[in-house]
Structure 1
Amino acid sequence: MFSGFLLIFLPLVIGYLIPVHSKKILHFINVQTSRLVLLILALMGLSLAGLDNLSQNLNQILLYTLTFFSCISTCNLLVLPMIDRLMPTASDHKQHKLPILHMMAESLKLVLVVAGGLLVGLLLNFDLSWVSQASEIILLLLLFFIGIQLRNSGMTLKQIVLNKKGATIALVMIVTSFCGGVIAALLLGLPINHGLAMASGFGWYSLAGILIGDSLGSILGGAALLNELLREMLALVLIPLLIQRYPNTAIGYAGATAMDFTLPVIQSSGGIRCVPVAIVSGFILSLLVPVLILFFVSL
């Protein structure tokens, strides 16, 4: 049952065990990781083109996306404010304008890559039997690079353990996301483990879409991508609005992106005191995304 999980999980572990001190090598890995993500997402679009009843499947993707997004986000936002009451975080009352629309456009670029792959597959109408195997090979290399990135992100175990607030936010995000994923799975008539896998993306839309698409098919993979993309876009809007009164809620809802993509928004809107909490919370969630998704899809 877990042979597939171990096979895919292995390159992630191997990558995590490799310390890299050269900035040039790290830059190379970062660039190649971005390229591999785009390549796999384009292949996801090609695999969608090979599905029968495409229009019906696209409607199903939208239904899954909206259901999971609504259920998971509702559960997150109902419980996260409790952390602000029990463990308040001080934030600075300074607001700096950031190019939010530009950041959203960067996120939407990945959806356009999937759409481009879909369009190519529909227009050229060629044999797509090779897409699945090619995606798996590229995925193994991608997970290896992601393992190296996580190892060399600068976070130590001591920093994670000592920042109890960041760890608490991550734990609440995990539990509430799982609750939302189970509710959505029951509403949609999906297996519970599929719902838990869909709930384990925590905003890392590219990796969630790729892992779930590779294991559970293009429909759920596309829904996972759009679900996490919606989270990131809503987080970009909510962080400046919530962070003064509910900093932990704003940080928590950003999910895994709190340590990278949404971190500038968190820092500029909430001040430097929010940064360590955001980095720890985001790092824990980022580390668990591939682990949890691979575990649940293997059940």
Structure 2
Amino acid sequence: MTSSDVPDNRWSDLGRPPLNATALRRALLRPGALWTSLDVVRTTGSTNTDLVRRAAELPEGAVLVAEEQSAARGRLDRQWSAPARSGLFFSVLLRPGPEVPIERWGWLPLLTGVAVATGLSRSAGVDTALKWPNDLLVRVPKDSDKLRPGEAPFEDERKAGGILAERADDGAVVIGIGLNVSLSAEELPVPTAGSLALAGAVSTDRDTLLRAVLRSLEHWYGEWRAAGGDPAASRLQEAYAAGCSTLGRSVRAELPGDTSLTGEAVAVDGDGRLVLATAQGVQPVGAGDIVHLRPA
């Protein structure tokens, strides 16, 4: 893990300048705020792994940002990578208890999705949809030269980011966020990926975006915690449903144990589970991969 606070190569890539750690701290670390420390490193394996390892020595509100990750992980330990400084790759350390019962902590990834989408809407002018449980989707315009007569000008939603929540040994929760910001079409790891730049963001300034996302996360976490983790009282459940691209679609839920369910996603229940209306009746899904089978 290498610090990037020293400015020796700050303008080595004018198209992708490094984050300004000093300015970020000045904007986000203040008395009474959730965020208590913010470190930016040039490269590391995984910010989640680093914070989980150090959780016992850190207070709630620690933020670790990497300009590049060499061993980034998503759900189910899936590996992914992105060019240095092309996105936001960061993790935060939270301690919801004792105010929030542990059975409600499963809402944290969904809360983070709402916070990221809200922050990006304000700072980047991009509507970010949520795919249950942890993906961030954007719409990318098609090449106008390749449109067929009558064809819609936007492609299906593409994944521009993801969220990963992990428990540390001391009981803290570390939430990692990976977001593609300036990736070009040629840099996308897979054709189904996207970025804020490709979605027409009005700003790809990563300092601005990170400040907006962390402020939004502080707001939603504070509301949820003040309500004892109640997703209805904090309006989190309502906000998630409003921004969830999965609801109203026919989906296939690929479940642990090589089983699957197919049906219409009709709700997100009070436990954060996706509720499917299937041929066998209504069934909640608490874990699994969701495949969208038709456009909303």
Normalising by structure 1, report the TM-score: 0.27
Higher RCO (C-alpha 8 Å, min separation 6): 1
Q: Return the structure number with greater helix share.
A: 1
Normalising by structure 2, report the TM-score: 0.27
Q: Return the structure number with greater strand share.
A: 2
